[in-house]
Each structure stands twice: as C-alpha cells, then as structure tokens.
Amino acid sequence: MKLPRAAGILLHPTSLPSPNGVGDVGAAALRFLDVMTASGLRVWQMLPLGPTGYGDSPYQCFSAFAGNPLLIDVAAPTQVGPVENFSSHVVDFGRVIPHKRALLDAATARLVPDERYRAFVAANATWLPDFALFIALKEAHNGTPWTDWEPDAVARHPAALDRWRRALATSIERVQREQYFFFAQFFALKKAATVRGIRLMGDLPIYVAHDSADVWANRALFDLDERGHPRVQAGVPPDYFSATGQLWGNPLYAWSTHAADKYAWWVKRMRASFRLFDVVRLDHFRGFEAYWEVPGDATTAAHGRWVAGPGAALFDAVATALGPLPIVAENLGMITPAVEVLRESLGFPGMSILQFAFGGDGKATDFTPHRLSRDNVVYTGTHDNDTTVGWWKSSGTTDSTRKVADVAIEKAYALRYLNADGHDMHWTLIRAALASVANTALIPLQDLLGLGSEARMNMPGRPTGNWGFRFTWEQLTPGILDRLRELIATYER
C-alpha cells in the first residue's frame, strides 16, 4: 500500500474536550476536524474504539466489533441537583462512567426504533446479539468474568441462552441502542472527515481480551483449557519499556482452527475495521510471524517461548475476501529479519519512532531520519512512549531499562545529529519527522502542545492509571497552529 505524503495527528477521542468528563465522537470531534483542516493535517489516527473494561485500556475491550458507549456524544438534560465538575486535563473514569451511564440510559430510553435502527441490528447480526447478551449477562453477574457465570451460560447451552435472552431482554435492547448511537455518530464523523480530505486511521489490536464476547462466543478459536481459562497467554519478553517484559494476559489463538476455517473470523474482523477507517494500524505485527507464548499462570512475561504465527496465509485469505488491505504494520520491539521479510512481501508500510532514533551507543538506528524510506510512517512518539518533552528531560535514573550513561550519549548524539541546542525539543523532533522522506508523519497531540510526562497516555506494564490525557481548546493556540501549518507547507505535506 502506497500512502500519499501527508502529516497527521495521533489523538484518541477520549482526549477531546467535553462537558461530560471524557471526549467523544460527536461535536468536539467535528470541531477537531476543522482545526486539522486549517492546519494542513490530513490524517487522524485513533486508538481502538471498543468498549473498555478494567484498567480502561482500549487494547482490552469487551468486543472487537462494538463501539465504546463512553464515546457517544450525549447532551445532558436540564440539570437537576449539583453540577458535575470534571477535570479538563484528565479523564477520571471512576466518576465519568456512572455519570455517562445515566445520560446514556436516558438517551436510549427515548429512542423510538425505526427502519434505520432495525436495519442496523440486521446488518450487524453476526456479532451484535452475542455482544448484547454478553454485556447483559455480565451486568447480571455484577461484572464478574464470563468464566465465573453459571456453567450453562459459560458453555452457551442453547436452552440456557434462550432463557437468559428472555430474562435480560430490556438490558439487551439497551446495549443494542447504544451501539446504534455510536455507529451513527462515528459514520457521521467519517463522512465529515472525507469531505475535508482527512483520512481516519484506526488501530486493530492483534489480541482480544479474555473477558470478551469474542472469546465467550468463539471458544474454539482460542487456546483455552476445559474451564475456558487461557492455557497460555500473550506478552513480550523484556524490552525498552520493561525489564521483566510485558504480560498482557490475552488468550492466544488456536491458529490451526482459524486456518481450517480460512480465517473467517479475521476476515469478519478486518472487514468491520475497514468500514470504520481508511487505514488501519495493525498492532504487534511481529506476532503474526512469531509470538511470545507465556504459561497461563505466569506473573511476568520474562519466561516464555517464540512460536510460529500464521504468517502470510492469514493476510492472503483476508485479501482474497476483501481485496487490497490498507494496513500499516506496527513493527516495533524485537524485530527479526523474518518479520521484515513478511511485512515487505505483503506491501505493508512500517513504523519508525524518532524517540528511538538516537542509540545509546551514539550511533544511528533503523529509526534515524536518514535511514527511513518513503513507505515508513514516522512518529515523534506513540501512545506507549513518554511525551517528547518527558523523554528529553528524563535522565534514566527512574527507568531501569535506560542507563544514565546511555541516556547521556543518546542526548549528545541527538543534539549533534539534529543540529539542536535542546531548547523546544518537541518542535525539533516534529520538524525532523515532517522533513523526513517518510510519506506519513504523525505527531501525538501532547508533542504538538509541548506537554511533559504528566500528559503521557500509557505506561506499558502499568495496569491502572493510564489513558486519561485530555486537552482544552485554549491549549491549541494560534501560534502553535500557525507554526505547524508553516512546517507542513515547507515540507510539502
């Protein structure tokens, strides 16, 4: 896939301004499109949009197909009682979720089902009934994982499911209405982006959460024991972010079962994602060539083994069903020549991160600007990185994976390479990204605003306290937007 030369922004909708404590895909998102248009930005990358659970991570969702109800724009009715005052800089999920829940309940109750609603339910019959029943059952069981429900519900006995559908009909209908609202608003946003010449870029996690409708309804597709628990789990070995690796806890796929079914579940999943987005970042592409398998009872990812993934067979099957695949491969981490051979054979652009460009040995890396190619997607940093300001200020004294001496060498090399003095380092990296030959340059909004580590979106390996960053419209000053627009024009993006 060849991407046109363009600049874009990395921003999850939860980070948008909103009076309800969390951003959404409604009015604020439409306003952000206008900001992008005026600045010359032509790509908006988001994180996964699914309904989140414990830890509020968009990479641990209750469904690979559903939308997050928190992202629905719901106008508050006439205020009765005390006004909710939410932080404009951080999403307080503990307070926001019940507040938004009350607004959503009122909105779904007011919806009068019509032909459009019935058509939506029919068009999504391959996943919506299972998801709605899953959420209703989860609520009926006080939020416990599906493996702790009654055995007949865990095993999905048809008679038991029919009984539960009748008992939980009101909750099931509410969930379906929420999904109708979400997709109606998101497709309106996509249409508005297309009119403005802006491409939406999504993020498709390689794995799904164990406590999800996907696993509950498709147990044969995952490597589970007889009780439904993961026999082995996903993660990565020790890396830049964690000295003990990252233990994700997701169940691994029973790839032979997927292959026997011509990867039908993946075809369905990618078709759904391509309907939402013009381009999709495929998370942890490395795992399709070989993945890190950790025992199901492990408490860290330090000890595991590499196991061969499905390779090109998966993507060939999806392409046969859907045509050319608009995918960007997230090829970060422990990348072997075999991973790059697979990516290049499929024609997927890869990713380059400028925060990783200046090696601790004072030498160039694969991410150093003069080593990039046109099919790269270059970032100053990603949602997993510190902000560029935070990265530059870090001495390595609080990060066990970065030695103080290496950080000093890294910084000296970066200053020499970029011909910089260290002042406004976020703008220095933004300029380097935009000036590079990489066809797509993406900037996290935190870097555009020059924010420090307090605005970091995610700390890999930390189970809670992530995903909360928000900004205000006042922070997007005319000076920042004018400077960005000038750089975009200078480097022909």
Answer for the pair 213, 134: CB distance below 8 angstroms, yes or no: yes
Residue type, 378: V
pLDDT at 80: 45
Q: Which residues of the chain have pLDDT under 70?
A: 76-83, 241, 396-402
Instruction: Find tokens 């990812």 and name the residue.
Output: 301
3-class secondary-structure state, position 230 = strand
Q: What radius of gyration, in Å, describes the C-alpha atoms of the chain?
A: 23
CATH number for region 6-110+186-490: 3.20.20.80
Catalytic-role residue among 24, 283, 293, 447 = 283
List, as own/partner pairs, every contact residues 47-53 make where C-beta atoms lie below 8 angstroms and the sequence separation is at least 24, other chains included: 47/12, 47/203, 47/383, 48/202, 48/203, 48/204, 48/205, 49/13, 49/186, 49/202, 49/276, 51/135, 52/467, 53/209, 53/211
Q: Would you call 386 a catalytic residue per the annotation?
A: no
User: Is 384 noted as a catalytic residue in this protein?
Assistant: yes
Quick one: which H or E segment has residue 415? Answer: helix 404-418
130, 178, 203, 330: the catalytic one is: 330
Strand-pair category, 232-236 with 246-251: antiparallel
Which of 384, 386, 410, 447 is the catalytic position?
Answer: 384
Ramachandran category for residue 56: left, alpha or beta (phi over 0 → left; psi -120 to 50 → alpha): left
pLDDT at 449: 98
Q: Which residues contact 100 (CB under 8 A, 6 or more apart)?
A: 20, 21, 22, 69, 70, 74
**Strand 232-236 relative to strand 290-295: parallel, antiparallel, unpaired?**
antiparallel
The ranges assigned to domains in the chain are: 6-110+186-490
The DSSP bridge partners found for residue 83 are: none
Q: Looking at the DSSP assignment, which residues form a beta bridge with residue 295?
A: 232
CB 434 within 8 A of CB 43: no
Q: Check residue 44 and give its pLDDT.
A: 98
Angstrom CA distances, 381 to 9, 355, 384, 433, 457, stand at 11, 6, 8, 10, 11
